[in-house]
């Protein structure tokens, strides 16, 4: 289920195209060819298409090769992104702003299908999903500490969590292959910082979705604080169902994992 509007998609495309155009304008002249021989990449520079075979660039000229490879990527990226924008504008003009799949995948494919010798020198504007997930999961952060008397509960991924319900949630996210961070700090209005229980990555939209589980709703003070926290998220612009999800449980109404899984599938897969 895409939650990114056509206007938002167009704005993102325009920003990406602006970066590619700025990079292209800085590029030097020349035509670069890439050959893979004897287990390594070789880069040949030509001043015109007719020149054969081209001038071999030594290792110290690798920045020049990189600039030309990047320029070729920039041009292909601009062309593809502009075509996507045109399609989105046509859909918007038709008045049929239906939910459509977000288009990061098409832009990531430009880098993904590049030859290995070129890929090694490109700085892509949109990474393929696997690389984006790896980069996102690799960001270091410091979560909250645990009190000395807190029970030691660990998820299947090995991180310490605060309750059995949070362990079930973490394990389900892992099973569903949804990238997440546990208690990663986030800045929102009036609470600097807050530590959401989970931050889940929507890979297709490259959007971080905050998920809070309020597990002690039988406690009056806890319930009041939970409602205030939900209000603060909403006041800061987080939309429930788009970039903010939450569940609740109490001692006599435990977390229903079937409902939790359905909520995850509805938000991230359908």
Q: What is the CA radius of gyration of the chain?
A: 24
Q: Are strands 55-56 and 40-46 parallel, antiparallel or unpaired?
A: antiparallel
pTM equals: 0.86
User: Residue 239's pLDDT is what?
Assistant: 92
The two tokens of residue 68 are 């030309």
pLDDT band at 219 (very low <50, low <70, confident <90, very high): very high
Asked if residue 167 lies in contact with residue 154, where contact means CB atoms within 8 angstroms, the answer is yes
Burial tier of 6 (Cβ tally within 10 Å: 0-12, 13-18, 19+): middle
Can you count the helices (H) and strands (E) in the chain? 8, 11
CA nearest 161: which of 188, 181, 179? Answer: 181
User: Residue 252's pLDDT is what?
Assistant: 95
DSSP three-state, residue 46:
strand
User: Residue 54's pLDDT is what?
Assistant: 81
Domain boundaries, the chain: 6-126, 137-268
Apex CA 49: angle with CA 45 and CA 53, to 5°?
Answer: 50
Encode pLDDT of 159-201 as tens digits: 999 999 999 999 999 999 999 999 999 877 655 788 999 999 9
The two tokens of residue 81 are 């992104």
> What percentage of the chain exceeds 70 in pLDDT?
95
Given CATH 1.10.3470, say whether it is the number of domain 137-268: no
Encode pLDDT of 125-161 as tens digits: 999 999 999 999 999 999 999 999 999 999 999 999 9
pLDDT at 73 exceeding the cut of 90: yes
d(CA 264, CA 100): 19
Asked if residue 41 lies in contact with residue 27, where contact means CB atoms within 8 angstroms, the answer is no
């Amino acid at each position: 289920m895409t939650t990114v509007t056509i206007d938002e998609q167009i704005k993102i495309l325009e920003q990406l195209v602006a970066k590619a155009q700025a990079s292209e304008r800085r590029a030097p002249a020349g035509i670069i060819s890439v050959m893979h021989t004897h287990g390594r990449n070789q880069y040949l520079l030509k001043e015109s298409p007719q020149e054969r075979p081209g001038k071999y660039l030594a290792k110290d000229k690798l920045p020049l090769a990189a600039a030309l490879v990047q320029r070729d990527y920039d041009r292909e990226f601009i062309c593809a992104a502009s075509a996507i924008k045109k399609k989105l504008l046509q859909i918007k003009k038709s008045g049929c702003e239906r939910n459509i799949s977000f288009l990061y995948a098409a832009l990531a494919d430009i880098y993904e299908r590049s030859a290995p010798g070129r890929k090694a020198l490109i700085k892509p504007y949109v990474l393929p999903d696997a690389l984006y997930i790896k980069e996102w999961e690799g960001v270091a952060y410091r979560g909250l500490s645990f009190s000395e008397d807190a029970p030691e509960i660990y998820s299947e991924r090995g991180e310490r969590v605060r309750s059995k319900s949070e362990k079930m949630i973490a394990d389900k996210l892992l099973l569903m292959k949804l990238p997440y961070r546990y208690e990663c700090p986030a800045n929102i209005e009036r609470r600097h910082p807050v530590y959401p229980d989970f931050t889940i990555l929507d890979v297709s939209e490259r959007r971080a979705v905050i998920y809070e589980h309020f597990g002690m709703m039988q406690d009056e003070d806890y319930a009041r604080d939970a409602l205030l926290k939900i209000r603060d998220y909403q006041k800061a612009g987080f939309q429930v169902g788009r970039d903010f999800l939450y569940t609740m449980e109490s001692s006599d109404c435990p977390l229903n994992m079937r409902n939790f899984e359905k909520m995850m599938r509805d938000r991230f897969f359908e």
